[in-house]
Amino acid sequence: MEKIKIGILGATGIVGQNYIKLLQDHPWFQIVDIAASPKSAGKSYFEAVKSKWQMSIPIPAELRKLIVRDVQDFNSIPDDLSFVFSAITMPTKDQVKEVEFKYAKNGIPVISNNSAHRWTPDIPMIIGEINHEHVNIIPVQRENHGYRNGFIVVKPNCTLQSYLTPIFALEKAGYKVDKLIITTLGAVSGAGYPGVASLDIVDNIIPYIGGGEEEKTELEPSKILGSVGGKKIINNDSIHISVTCTRVPVIDGHTACVNVNFKDKIPSKDEIIKIWTEFKSLPQELELPFAPKQPIIYLENEDRPQPRKDRDNDKGMAVTIGRLRKDSVFHYKFVALSHNTVRGAAGGLILNAELLKSQGYIN
């Protein structure tokens, strides 16, 4: 099969580098265009990124000589480009919005890691196993904005992806959730590069993450759990969520300590574990390349999950859970873990692109 030609916006940053690492030997997608700021434009990718390459693999040989395009040079977009992954950073969200809008206007679908468009009413914010049907808003989005072939799809905040899929699985099984109290232990890679200063994080826990991390983690589930209606996505505010986000001295892997209270029916512990271990969704049914075979993994060990031991489960795309037990205030509590730079960032967007291809929106 001839591979689909794709581009990466913000290819010199950490998320852009992660796309390059994860897309090596992808069966469907081939990187043919990389774009970044004017500072990097005109240089070979090797020259633009060599001093700040942070991945565990060398810069791929086929990309080293590729010339970096100015991300705002719309006239030099390759004619055969099918879509772009967006990991651009700019001084304001409005600037990010404008650039992504312009790519969509130019007929290029944008699959974005950015938060700028998460609350745009006709742009879906997708976790493949939860709200894959939200891709059905794309024809409406095209009509609303006058796009012919372009569109924008985004992913949610990486922190909430450590707990939302297991909560959704319980709701889908008929056990409606009323309240969640969550404390997250965020890895330092979530702050980007160079991220948190070593004198701040070594031998320490920082009980605050800026950029509205707690608000994103509390509010974004309402859109993800919502439904497509009319010309927008209608939010679902049925679950009340309170979150405290902290930063801990772990490189990769966001952990969440979750207390859950149900509305009516209360499942047994064995029922919950059975629901989680049997949970599958459309990405698994379609056997998409980046889909985890088992999206939720439950470990019986009393001291798991642990980031160093469990963040890479199933290509780094699974949510790993442990310590499910009765709670003295709410009904249950458990600990969940996901890989923030794989499932929570580039890997999750690659899965979204595979989903969009399978549904006929990318060709």
Tens digits of per-residue pLDDT, 237-279?
A: 999 999 999 999 999 999 999 999 999 999 999 999 999 999 9
What percentage of the chain exceeds 70 in pLDDT?
100
Residues of the chain with pLDDT under 70: none
Which residues are catalytically annotated? Answer: 158, 254
Residue 7 token pair: 């581009």
This prediction has a pTM of 0.96
Helix, strand, coil content of the chain in percent (nearest 5): 35, 20, 45
CA distance 232 to 219: 17
- pLDDT at residue 304, rounded to an integer: 98
- pLDDT at residue 363, rounded to an integer: 85
- Kindly report the average pLDDT of the chain as a whole number: 96
Task: Report how far Cα 224 is from the mean position of its chain's Cα atoms.
Answer: 12
* Strand-pair partners of 235: none
Query: Looking only at Cα atoms, what is the longest distance across the chain?
Result: 61
Domains of the chain: residue spans and CATH: 4-157+346-358 (3.40.50.720), 159-338 (3.30.360.10)
**What value, to the nearest 5°, has the Cα angle with vertex 164 and ends 162 and 218?**
95
- pLDDT at residue 194, rounded to an integer: 86
Tens digits of per-residue pLDDT, 140-189?
A: 999 999 999 999 999 999 999 999 999 999 999 999 999 999 999 999 99
Residue bearing tokens 């939302």: 164
CA distance 33 to 4: 12
- C-alpha to C-alpha distances, 231 to 31, 186, 223, 225, nearest whole angstrom: 33, 35, 14, 17
Strand 177-186 vs strand 152-154: parallel, antiparallel, or unpaired?
Answer: unpaired
